[in-house]
Amino acid sequence: MTRAILILFVVFGLAACGEPDAPKGRPKVAPPPTPLSVTKAPAAPAGPGAAVAAVSGDGMLQAASVSQLESLPRLNAKVFSVSGGDPALNGLVTYFGLFAGADEGWRVYPIGDFNEWRVVESAPGKVVLAVRQDVAADDGSIKNSPRFIHVSFDNTGDVPPDAISVASSD
């Protein structure tokens, strides 16, 4: 009996400890969101739906064109694509954005038109994407061209730079 009580004290004591504080100078990072899990069929609505009018403005039209987004909160950056290219050949017009503050918003830099991309590395001043950029051959066939895009930027100032560096490697 006393052994069971001792085990309970240890378990509850460890549970009360929580996570250690983040090292000085570094903010705590929020844990990743829990994936949405649906285990049953949706119930019928509780009542009639509310009428919602369409939002107008050029900004909303541009936002609706976003087809892929990778947020990089530790860098105050994001990589995103908008629909607009040839959907069969490099249809993802891709940009890199750095947050310049509440007054200016985002500085956006074009980095290329790709058929597919994903961020494979990110660190202060550097983001690397694995991309597939297809090329039409003379005979009409499409050649897949996988490679890496290296985005480098100065992140030492208070505001993002006027230009970034974009280079590729195999």
| Per-10-residue mean pLDDT, the chain, length 170 | 44 43 44 69 84 81 86 94 75 92 92 93 96 87 90 90 94
- pLDDT given at position 117: 94
Give the Cα separation of 111 and 117 in Å (integer): 11
In what order do the strands lie in the sheet containing 165-169? 116-123, 126-132, 146-152, 165-169
> Residue 11: what pLDDT?
40
Specify the pLDDT at position 24.
43
Determine the pLDDT at residue 31: 61
DSSP conformational letter for 115: S
CA distance 74 to 129: 17
Cα dihedral 112, 120, 34, 29, rounded to 10, equals -100
Tokens of 96: 């890199």
Closest listed residue to residue 151, CA positions, set 79, 71, 66, 67 = 79
Of 166, 160, 81, whose CA–CA distance to 127 is shortest? 166
